[in-house]
Amino acid sequence: MDGVKVIYSGLCPICGRDLDIYEITRGVCRHKNLPLYWTPEDKKVDKFLEFFKKAIGEPRAIQKFWARRILRGESFAAVAPTGIGKTSFGTAMALFLAGWRKKSYIILPTTLLVNQVVGYLRKYAEALGIRLNVNEEGEGVTVIYYHSDLKKNEREKFVQLLNERKFDILVTTSQFLPKSFPLLKGLTLSLIHI
């Protein structure tokens, strides 16, 4: 992903505008020239934790930590052993950010995991009363997903929605990434979960 400038749209804790890699690296908001900081009053974190409780249950300490870092607009890799809830966390965060009209990309190693994450999204959306569209257009949150076992018509619908940017959450296997790179050009993502 060299040379890709990741912008966290609307997540600067100082000015509320976009955050770019330059600002994150220096730890300074370029619009107000102030250091990027975070206070416990951060409303977005509280809102997310409420959201998480409704969708999944009480968040673990590490999940709260990840939430603060992501919602502060920091770029970071959540390193955790499997079973600690990284995937369910990333899925819930993507759904939360969709409510703020921010796009996320969840990349998974296998078709099985892609189907599992789509299943989580359906479950959480139902618990939260969110209307979810999966590989189709509609009001509410739109999820598009891709793996090699999709039927031809499903694949065509996926490509169309991706090209038209008519989605909030993109879920694919990692195999999809190299061949899809031209399709992703110019896309602003708020969360990339690998």
Under the binding rule (CB under 5 A), the answer on residue 12 touching Zn ion is: yes
Residue 4 CB, shortest distance to Zn ion, in Å, is 20
Question: Segment contacting Zn ion (CB under 5 A): 7-15, 115-123, 136-144, 145-153?
Answer: 7-15
CA–CA dist 99, 110 (Å, integer): 27
Under the binding rule (CB under 5 A), the answer on residue 15 touching Zn ion is: yes
Query: 3-class SS at 104?
Result: strand
Residue 180 CB, shortest distance to Zn ion, in Å, is 31
User: Which position among 14, 24, 107, 114 is part of the footprint of Zn ion (CB under 5 A)?
Assistant: 14
Residue 11 CB, shortest distance to Zn ion, in Å, is 9
Under the binding rule (CB under 5 A), the answer on residue 36 touching Zn ion is: no
Under the binding rule (CB under 5 A), the answer on residue 7 touching Zn ion is: no
Of 138, 124, 130, which is closest to residue 90 (Cα–Cα)? 124
Under the binding rule (CB under 5 A), the answer on residue 117 touching Zn ion is: no
User: Which position among 26, 31, 60, 101 is part of the footprint of Zn ion (CB under 5 A)?
Assistant: 31
For the four alpha carbons of 25, 179, 192 and 111, in that order, the dihedral sign comes to negative
Residue 34 CB, shortest distance to Zn ion, in Å, is 8
Taking CB atoms within 8 Å and a gap of at least 24, the contacts of 119-126 are 120/87, 120/88, 120/91, 120/92, 121/91, 121/94, 121/95, 121/169, 121/171, 123/55, 124/55, 124/56, 124/91, 124/92, 124/95, 125/95
User: By C-beta, is 14 or 162 nearer to Zn ion?
Assistant: 14
CA–CA dist 86, 189 (Å, integer): 19
Q: Give the number of residues in contact with Zn ion, rule: CB under 5 A.
A: 5
CA–CA dist 67, 90 (Å, integer): 9
Under the binding rule (CB under 5 A), the answer on residue 29 touching Zn ion is: yes
Which stretches of the chain bind Zn ion, using CB under 5 A?
12, 14-15, 29, 31
